[in-house]
Amino acid sequence: MASKQLCEEDGSQELGSQELGEEDGSQEPVSLTFSNIGFSVKDRRTGATVQILKSISGTVTARRLMVIMGSSGAGKTTLLDVLACNLFGGGTVSGEVLVNGAPRNPREFSQISCYVTQRDVLLASSTVRETLLIAALLKLPRTMPTAAKVARVDAIIADLELEGCQHTLIGDEVMGMKGISGGQRRRVSVGQELVKSPNVLFVDEPTSGLDSEMAVSLVDTLVRLARQNRTVCTTIHQPNSYITSKFDDFMLLHAGSVSYFGPWSESVAYFASQGCPCPQFASGSILGSRPGPLPTDFYMATLKIRGDELVAAWAELEQASPKCLAALEAGEAAAVTAGREAGGHGMEEPTQELHAAPRVSWPYQVHVLSGRMLRMWWRNPAMLVSEVSQYAFMAIFVGLVYLQVSDNVATGIHDRAASMWVAMAILSSTPSYTSAVIWDKDRLLLRRETQQGMYNVTAWFAAKTATTWPVEIVQTTLFCVVMYWMVGFVPSAAAFFIFVAVFCMFQLTSETIGTMCAIVCGNATYAILLCTFVLIFLLSFSGFLVSAVPVYFRWITKISYLTYAYAAVIQNEFTRIDLTTEGGETVSGTAVYNSERSGSPLGPVNNGLSIAANMAVLLGITFGTRALAFVLLFALHKLKRL
Ligand SMILES: Nc1ncnc2c1ncn2[C@@H]1O[C@H](COP(=O)(O)OP(=O)(O)OP(=O)(O)O)[C@@H](O)[C@H]1O
C-alpha cells in the first residue's frame, strides 16, 4: 500500500505534475555501458601495483534490476564506486563508461545518479524525519514548493516503513546517543537517495543488517524503482530465493574479474554449459526430493573451487562474441513490454541530454545546514555541558593557582605574566584538539552529502563557521570571566573587554589550526600529533622565549598568533597598573612593560606595537587562518582527498 504511494508520486499523480514534471523531465531512461574497466592501486608496503578490477565489461539498462554478486573482496564495491564516480583515496581507473552511448561526464552524471554506500553516514543528532527532510530541502529543485517536498518525505517514510521511528534520533552508540536500529539506518540511507528520484541508482549491499522480510521489501522497492524508467545497479549478499527471483541481470565477480554476466534467468544454463549444473535444477539430482542449494549459493561455492577457470572461460567467450550484450538487449525489450503491460511509464526514447534540476540557493543551503548544526548542540546536552564545564574547570584551576595576585614587584609581574601564558597554553590546545576530533565525524558526512549534491562545500564551511564561532566565543567569555576576577587583574571594564576580545580571537585561531591539521591529516590521531607539534613550535617561539629563538627562526615569532595575543593582554594589564617594591616604592607598570626599569622580565614580550595594533594583527590572523582552512578544504575536496 505504502509502496504504491511512492509509485504514484513518482508518476506525478499526487504532488502536482508541474513540480514533479520538472524533475521527471530528467528521468529519461539511462543505459550505462562499461567496457574493460580496470582499477589498480599501489601497495603501500612494496610499491607494487595491485590490480583490483580486471577488464570488466557490461551494461546496466533502465527498467531492469542489475545485481552484482561475488565473494567478499571480489571487487563489487570498487566496481560500484567506479561506475558511480565515487572513488576516494587514489587509485588508477582504466576503461570506458558510456551513458546512453556517449562518454560519461562525471559532473552531469552525479546530478542524475545516486549512490547508497555500504556504510551508513548519517548525522547522529537528527531524527529520521529530519534527515530525510533535509535531504529533500537541499536536493530537490528550488522551484518545487516546500509542501511538495514534505509530501515526498512522507511518501518515502511510508514506503520504507519508517513511520514508527520517524521521530527517533539516528543516534550513535559511541556518543552515548541511543538511536534507531541498524536495519532502520540502512533504510534511511536509501530514503535519502530516493528523495531526488534519481535516474540511476547504485546501492551497495542494501539488505545487510535487515531481517529477511525487510530485505525482500527493500528489493521490491528497488525493482519498482527500476520499472519506473530507472537504472538500478546493486550488490547483494546472501539473497534468499524470493530476492533472487527479482533479479533481471546478474554479474558474478571473482577476484576482480567477471565469471558471468547476463540475464539472471540464463545463469543456470550457462553454469551447466561450463560443467557446473546447479543441483536444484539438474535432472536426476542426487538430492532427490530434498531442495538443493540456491543458485547463488551454488555459484559462490563453485567459484571457490573453479573461480579462475570460470573467469578464463568467460573472458574467452566474451572475446569470441558479445553474447551477454545481445542477451541483455533481448531482456530489455522484454522488460519494456512488461512495463507497458503493468501500466508503468510510457516508453521514451533514451536521450543523451541529461538535465540537472536547479539546486537550492547558496544562502538557503547555509540556512538549512546551520539549523542542523545548531540542533546538534541542544540535542546532545551532554556534549554541551561537558564543553562548557571543561572551560569553567580550567578557568577555576588557573584562578586558584594564581588567586588574587599581589601588586608586589617581586611576584606581581611574574604571576600576571605566567597566568596569562598558562591560559593561552590551555586555550591553544583544548579547542584545536576538540576540532580535530569533531572533524573526523564531519569529514565523512561532508564527503557523502557533497557527493550526493546536497550542498556546496562553501555552504558547509560558512554554516560551520557561523554556528561554531558563537559557541566558542561563549565558552571563552565564560573562561575569561572566571579567570580574570579570580586572578585579580586590573578591575577596569575596558581592560576586561580587551582581555576577552583577545582571548576569543586567540581561541578561534586555535580552533582553526586544529581544523586545518585535521583536514590535512584526514584522521584525528595524526591530526592531534600534528597539532601538538605546531602548537609547541608556536609556543616555544613566542612571548618570553623570543630572545632565545635562533635568528633563522625569528620569522616564526612574526607569524605566530601567540606573539600578538600575548603582547596585547600583557600591555593591556601592565599599562594600567602600578606595582610596589619591598621598600614601598611605586613602580609604573608601563615602565616595566617598556623595560625602562633594569631587570624587567617583559622585554621579550614587547613587540613595539600598541594594543590596538596587536589586536588588529590578531584579527587578521584569525580570519587569515580561517580562509586558509577553507582553501585547504576546498582543494582537498576537489581532489577527492577528503
Ligand atoms: N584503495 C584501495 N587500496 C587498497 N586496496 C583496495 C582499495 N580499494 C579496494 N581494495 C581491495 O580490493 C579488494 C576488493 O574490495 P571491495 O571493497 O571492492 O570488495 P567487495 O567485493 O565489495 O567486498 P565485500 O563484499 O567484503 O564488501 C579488497 O581486497 C580490498 O581490500
92-149 residue pLDDT tens: 999 999 999 899 988 888 878 888 988 888 999 899 999 999 999 998 888 889 999 9
Distances (CA, A) of 481 to 478, 500, 503: 5, 8, 11
Question: What is the number of the ligand 1 atom nearest to the C-alpha of 79?
Answer: 18
- Alpha-carbon span 153 to 599, nearest angstrom: 72
Ligand 1 centroid to residue 209 C-alpha, Å: 20
Q: Look at residue 289 in the predicted model and tell me its pLDDT.
A: 53
- Tens of pLDDT, residue by residue over 461-512, are 999 999 999 999 999 999 999 999 999 999 999 999 999 999 999 999 999 9
- Alpha-carbon span 262 to 250, nearest angstrom: 6
- Alpha-carbon span 250 to 312, nearest angstrom: 18
Q: What is the DSSP string of 474-496?
A: HHHHHHHHHHHHHHT----HHHH
- Mean pLDDT, residues 178-207 taken together: 88
Return the SS3 of 59. strand
Is any ligand 1 atom within 6 A of the Cβ of residue 74? Answer: yes
Is any ligand 1 atom within 6 A of the Cβ of residue 91? Answer: yes
Question: What is the number of the ligand 1 atom nearest to the C-alpha of 80?
Answer: 18
Q: Look at residue 23 in the predicted model and tell me its pLDDT.
A: 42
- What residue's CA is closest to ligand 1, atom 16? 75
Grid cell digits, residue 200: 540511476
- What residue's CA is closest to ligand 1, atom 31? 73
pLDDT of 10 above 80: no
Ligand 1 centroid to residue 122 C-alpha, Å: 22
Give the chain's domains with CATH numbers: 2-341 (3.40.50.300), 362-638 (no CATH)
Q: Look at residue 352 in the predicted model and tell me its pLDDT.
A: 36
**Band of the pLDDT at 544, cuts 50, 70, 90?**
low
Is any ligand 1 atom within 6 A of the Cβ of residue 78? Answer: yes
Q: What are phi and psi of 112, to 5 degrees?
A: -110, 0
- What residue's CA is closest to ligand 1, atom 2? 41
pLDDT of 599 above 90: no
Alpha helices in 561-610 (DSSP H): 561-574, 589-593
Is any ligand 1 atom within 6 A of the Cβ of residue 42? Answer: no
- Alpha-carbon span 361 to 308, nearest angstrom: 52
End-to-end CA distance of the chain, in Å?
41
Return the SS3 of 606. coil
Q: Look at residue 9 in the predicted model and tell me its pLDDT.
A: 36
- Of 45, 77, 238, best ligand 1 pocket probe by most atoms within 8 Å of the beta carbon: 77
- Mean pLDDT, residues 567-582 taken together: 94
Q: Are the beta carbons of 395 and 482 closer than 8 angstroms?
A: yes
Neighbours of 540 (CB within 10 A): 17
- Of 37, 46, 69, 76, best ligand 1 pocket probe by most atoms within 8 Å of the beta carbon: 76
Q: Are the beta carbons of 610 and 593 closer than 8 angstroms?
A: no
Ligand 1 centroid to residue 204 C-alpha, Å: 13
The whole-model pTM stands at 0.77
**Band of the pLDDT at 452, cuts 50, 70, 90?**
confident
